[in-house]
Each structure stands twice: as structure tokens, then as C-alpha cells.
Structure 1
């Protein structure tokens, strides 16, 4: 059974949450302030390219900036994924990957141009 002290602490935390969140929102800069590059490690014209362009179109409409798709195919997507890994981690370069990029390529290639565990921050699954 919760004590009055515990209930009071929870209530105080719930009441303070909007002010804490509002302060952090105010501190953020406006994003994006320039175009976004979307790297697709798939060949142009294929299903991966179609998905990349659909995502870019949707992001561009929501963020009100151009989202430019750059196809960088080759080596089972390792070349394009390496290009993505070498990009500045500033939020202005996004990319597409497949399950094979991170689960199969490390077993096929002895040396990859990226570290699948350290070089990326996943955002969202697109299809399953």
C-alpha cells in the first residue's frame, strides 16, 4: 500500500513534468535548417530505391526542407553503409539499411567500412 509520502512525491513529479519538458523544448534549436541527405545503399530503380524515395518525399513534406536521395550501391550495401558511417553525425544525413547490412555482411566480409555496433543510431523500422 502506498504511503501518503509516496503519493505526494508522485503527484509533485506529475505536476512538474510539463514545466521540465517545456524548458527542454525551448532550449532546442530549430531543426532542420538545411536540406537532408538520405543515403540508399540500393541500386536506382529497385524496391529499396522506391522505399527511399517514398520516405524522402514524406520527410520533405513534414519537415519543409528538401530531402535528397543519394544511391550508393555495391558490395551487398556495404559501400553505401560505409558512406553513411563516415558522414557527420549532425542529423542531416539519414540512411536506409536491410537486415543483411548488419546481420549478414559481418560474416561475408572480413573488413567492412563501418562498425555495425558503434557507427549508427537506429531511428525507426520502415517495413517488416
Structure 2
């Protein structure tokens, strides 16, 4: 019985010291950062250097509860994807934006969207 990684050549030979196990672990850790029902939606709202207040995010994503939005933003901040900016004023003003590392996800998610669209197109053609 052949192993999947032997049948599928994802990486050009000699170009990387990455083993299939290392690649799988890397993908798993990346997916842990992005897992959560609302994280990708939040990311798309913050792309292009947007700076949004909590209430603006809440209005932009009407189905998310305050508690869940807070949890997802805190996890993304802890993971280094989102930056939380607190302005010392009354009433308190808190804004969120993507870190440079978070902004680097944009081309990755664009590729994911294209990949998903190609799947939908292939289903329509069948």
C-alpha cells in the first residue's frame, strides 16, 4: 500500500528540508490560529489597513454575539494577528486593526477564495 505523500509530490525535491510530517504540523498550527466561526469574517473586514471600533465590527457582523466577538478578537490579538488600540479617553475608545503579519494573510485567503470558486464552477459544469 502506497502512502499519500509518496503519490503526491507537493514540494519540489531538493528545494526544502520540509518533511510531510513537518508540513502537516505547520498547516495544523496555522489552522488553529484561524479556527473559529468568526475569525475569517473579522479578517476580511479588517483587510486593507482598516481600523475599526468594536461597535463597527459588531454592526458589520450582525449574527455574532458581543461575547463571541470579544473572544475571537482576544484570541486573534494573543496570536499576533490583530492589534488592539486603546485610546485613553472617556468614554473609552478601542479600535482594532491587523498586524503586518495578519495583513500578510490577505493573499493566502484570496487564493483560498479562488480555489473555492473553482470548485463551485466545476460543480456547475457537471
Shorter chain as denominator, the TM-score bin is under 0.3
TM-score by length of 1: 0.24
Give the number of the structure whose residues are more often helix, by fraction: 2
Higher relative contact order (CA 8 A, sep 6+): 1
TM-score by length of 2: 0.25
